[in-house]
Amino acid sequence: MDRFLSIVVAAGLGCFALAFLLSGLYPFLLNEASVPAATLDELAQDVSADFRDARERWPEGFRLAYGAEAAMGLEELMGVADDDPLRAASEDAWVAAYRQALQDGRDTYIAEGCWHCHSQYVRPVANEDLRFGPVSRWEQDNNELQRPVMWGTRRVGPDLTYEGGLRSNDWHAAHFWEPEDVTPGTVMPRYPWFFRHGYQVRRRIDPELAERTGLDPAMSYPLPGVYDTQAEAEAALERERAELPSTLAAEGERLFVAEGKGLNGKGLSMLAYLQWLGTWQPESMGGGS
């Protein structure tokens, strides 16, 4: 029996030593590889649609976190000529904001200990590819945001190698605020510090729709934008009313101001990082930065 226990202990220590060695050796070999690692500047050139969408959903939080006043949305760009300097300035502002968000998001991911419960490496064992996607290849990690590689220590939550684009921005925001609401039974903690509180404009549902469907006529939904003061929200409400066409002027009466919350800079950066995971493909795998 003593001999058996000695073998088990020796095997356990040996496996631990091997795992420790490989965990340190793998990133080192990547750094020394003949293929240069993609820099954060290169990664940020391809601004994701989800990041652009985040500004539309949380404009005030986005402005406070990244500035990027020159960044224009699709509707704003429709009237700008291809050779207009405003278009180039807009894209530069988007790239700068995205670069900051990716870096801050990765730092937050590490600081919050997300890598304890989530891995970012699909192993070629136990049918992991059926659960999480294709088995990871070293080329996917050959970039600055994967230094060090987020292998993870255990899988209390799912692997996040290919998380980018799987779920909407709204889903992630709801998941940050109250994980149980979107993933029943989860043990993931809440992250209320990813949100800023203030005032926002809301619109009550159409009373005729409420009567037809049996919904509460007091139900409402928020318009994008969480403002620091009630006065700022009231001004936004008046702008919304002024922009309504005359045929829909009555809808302005359904607008009102109430307390609200939206993602802050930390939450937006975490969102950008999660929506980036798995979307970058190096040229050696048929993609690019």
State residue 257's pLDDT score. Answer: 96
What percentage of the chain has pLDDT greater than the value 70?
92
3-state SS, one letter per residue, for 127-157 = CHHHHHCCCCCHHHHCEHHHCCCCCCCCCCC
Residue 24's pLDDT band (cuts 50, 70, 90): low
pLDDT on residue 111:
96
Domain 47-182+268-285 in CATH 1.20.1510? The answer is no
CA 217 to the chain's CA centroid: 33
Whether the predicted pLDDT of 288 surpasses 60? no
Q: Is the model's pLDDT at 32 over the cut of 60?
A: no
Q: What is the mean pLDDT of the chain?
A: 88
Cβ partners under 8 Å of residue 124, min gap 6: 135
What is the pLDDT, as a whole number, of residue 28?
Answer: 58
What's the confidence (pLDDT) of residue 149?
A: 83
- Alpha-carbon distance of 207 to 215, in angstroms, equals 9
Full-model pTM? 0.86
Where are the domains positioned within the chain?
A: 47-182+268-285, 193-264
Digit-coded pLDDT (tens) for 112-132: 999 999 999 898 888 889 999
pLDDT above 90 for 79: no
* Residue 10 pLDDT greater than 90, yes or no: no
Is pLDDT of 233 > 60?
yes
Q: Nearest Cα to 207, choosing from 195, 197, 199, 219?
A: 219
Looking at residue 267, what is its pLDDT? Answer: 98
Taking 90 as the threshold, does the pLDDT of residue 94 lie above it? yes
Question: Is the pLDDT reported for residue 8 higher than 80?
Answer: no
Q: Binning pLDDT at 50, 70 and 90, where does residue 265 land?
A: very high
Alpha helices (H) along the chain: 2-31, 40-43, 49-57, 59-66, 74-77, 85-111, 114-117, 128-132, 169-177, 179-182, 207-213, 230-243, 265-276
- In whole angstroms, give the CA distance from residue 115 to residue 132: 16
171-217 pLDDT, tens digit per residue, is 999 999 999 999 999 999 999 999 999 999 999 988 888 888 888 88
Cis, bond preceding 148 (omega within 30 deg of 0): yes
Which pLDDT belongs to residue 16?
73
First to last CA, the chain: 57
Of residues 235 and 153, more confidence is placed in 235
Please report the pLDDT score of residue 250 as a whole number: 80
CA distance 171 to 177: 10
- Provide the residue type at 239 as one letter: R
Work out the average pLDDT over 88-104.
96
More confident residue, 261 or 251: 261
Reply yes or no on whether the pLDDT at 49 is more than 70.
yes
Q: Smallest Cα–Cα separation from 24: which of 160, 149, 153?
A: 149
DSSP codes of every residue in 231-265: HHHHHHHHHHHHHS-GGGGGGGGGEEEEEEEEE-H
Q: CB 87: neighbour CB atoms within 10 A?
A: 14
